[in-house]
Amino acid sequence: MSGELVLVTGGSGFIAQHCMLKLFEAGYRVRATVRSLAREAGVRATLKAAGAEAGERLAFFAADLTADAGWNEAAAGCDFVLHVASPFPLTVPKHEDELIVPAREGALRVLRAARGAGVKRVVQTSSFAAVGYGHPPMDRAFNEHDWTQVDGEGLTAYAKSKTLAERAAWDFMAREGGDMELAVVNPVGVFGPILGADFSTSIEIVKRMMDGALPALPRLAFGVVDVRDVADLHLLAMTDPEAAGERFLAVAGDFLSMRDIALILRRRLGDAASRVPTRELPDWLLRVLARVDKSVGQIVPELGKTKNATSDKARRVLGWSPRSAEDAVVATAESLVRLGLAKHRG
């Protein structure tokens, strides 16, 4: 409804900023949390460049997932909350709790503040990482009934953090959620147009391909979805009565291998993708590299695995209709080139 107030956590982030653009387009007022108010000017400038002159429709509050301060003030008077903030670093943390604790405790802080403020519904951004890892080989697509097995082989700290944070959120709602509602969005790898230099880890894959930083490609496959469609799904999950108490996978079609993505870039971008490799890296070499590089070690358990996931539920229940995975990949690369963030030739 036009004029209602929505709190978006992690306001400087890739998904959060696209959510804010959709909210402004739909007539909502927005509050955004950032860890430091020094980031406000940068976020406003990014949104303005993307076509949203927010003005007084946007306010900022300082709040950190690791501390209580600021959350009650940020949530006060809000009708809805989009809890998008969660740590997702490029490097491996020294200890998994560096990701798990802020993700889980941060989700609970947001939910407590929202409940205390009388918020109608919270939409939490979870991940396919909370759905499709730690399992034996599957001959079907993953769906919303599946949960990542946190004691499964080779599970990363990030996958554990997203799983435990979402579990904690549902447990909180069952115990003490009261009249407040929760819906959860579980995106696969989020691609699509970046708005600035602050973008998701998924985007880094395309950037490194474009830069020529990858001499060859690991035999990995993952789901792809456009960030604009992820934002659309957040708004549908926020407003549709059928979304209350549900989780929704966000994936655009079948999973793609890294070589699939490379071939898309080569075909659709021409000279701008001249550095993109198409040769696959032998698994044995990656296993050798993993002995000295922990970040490489994270991907070894996924080498050569075939996975898939379905967004049938979001399409059927909410009428969600995402762009193709190919178009999401191309939009990523085109935005990197446009903003001068890809060291392409051409």
Q: Which residues are catalytic?
A: 162
Q: Which residues contact 135 (CB under 8 A, 6 or more apart)?
A: 146, 148, 149, 152
Q: How far apart are CA 96 and CA 55, in angstroms?
A: 39
Structure tokens at 230: 């992820």
The neighbour count for residue 163, using CB atoms within 10 Å, is 25
CB atoms within 10 A of CB 277: 18
At residue 314, φ and ψ (nearest 5 deg) are -65, -40
Residue the block writes with tokens 């190919």: 326
Q: Which tokens go with 155?
A: 């599970």
Q: What gap in Å lies between CA 264 and CA 266, rounded to an integer?
A: 6
Per-residue tokens: 256? 């793609």
Phi and psi at 34, nearest 5°, equal -135, 155
Any idea what the Cα angle at residue 50 is, between residues 201 and 184, rounded to 5°?
A: 50
